[in-house]
Structure 1
C-alpha cells in the first residue's frame, strides 16, 4: 500500500485536499472519492491516517486516531472489512506508521495497543498473506514472529515464490484482486528482515 512517498509535494497536497473533501460526519475518510459512494473501511482509514501522519498532517484528521485506537482496543478489526477480508492489513498499516515515527509520543497509545494485538495474532493461522503481514508488523514494532516466518518458509514453492493470494475485493460484487508477486515480495521482505 503506497503512501505517496516519491510524489512531489503538490501531488500530496492535492491528494490530501481530495481526501479531506470526502469525510464522514464523524470526520473519518471515506473509501471512494465520490459524493455518491459514501463507503467506509477501517483498513483504508488506517492507510489514509498513515499518509497524513507521515506528511505531518496529524491534526487534519482529529477524530481518526481515537477511532483507530478503539478498533484496536475492542479488536473490532478482527472481522476484516468489506474490501479487506484479512484483518492483518489493519495491523500492518498501523505498525508501519509506528515504525516510521518511533519516537512520536502522540502515537504511544496506538503503539502499546499494536504490540498487544500483534502478539495475539502471531502465527494464528497458516494464511500466507496473513503470515507475511503479521511478520512485517511484528518486525516494524521490534518483535519477531517465528511462527509466521516458519509458515512462510514452509509455504514457499519450488520456483521460490508463494501461491496466489487474494489481497482485497470489491464490496458489492464477488470480484477479488490477487497477486502472487505482491505476496512473494512481502514474504521475501519479512524473511530478509528476520536475517538482519
Structure 2
C-alpha cells in the first residue's frame, strides 16, 4: 500500500514538472538532449533524506536514441552533505559503467558546483572532497573522450526522480532491460518534453 502511495506521489511530481512546461519553445529547451554520435550519456543525481539519515545516488545510461541501457540506484548511509552525495553519484555512476567498454561518455549532473569542481584542473586539493575528486578523475582516464556537463534538473529528470523514488531501497538496484513501472513512466514522460 505504501509503495502505491509513494508511486502516485512521484508521478504527481513528474506531472507537475511536465505541466509547467506547456510552451513548445520551453519544451524543446528543457528536453533531454541526445549525445553526439559515438557517445553515450550518463545522467547522475543524488538525494538526501535527512529525517531518515540516509541518501540515494542514481545513474542512468542512455544512447543517442534515448534508449536506457542501464539504470541504477544505490543507498548511501551516513552522508548528510548534499555536495558529497552529488560527488558520490558521479563516482558510483562511473564505477557502474567503466567496465562496459564505453570509449566516449558525457556525464550530466544538475549540481553546478560539482561539475565546476570536476572540470577545474586547479581545484583545491585540500577541499573536504579532495579524495573523492581524485577517485573520479582517476576513473575518467578509462575513457578516450569524456565530458562533464551541468544541466537543468528538468534535463536530468529521470535520474532525479529515480533518486527520490527509490529512497526505501537499502542496497543496490540495477535495471538492464526490464524496467520497473516507475522508470518506464519517467522515460515516457521525459520523451514527451
- For normalisation by structure 2, the TM-score amounts to 0.28
- For normalisation by structure 1, the TM-score amounts to 0.28
Q: Return the structure number with greater strand share.
A: 2
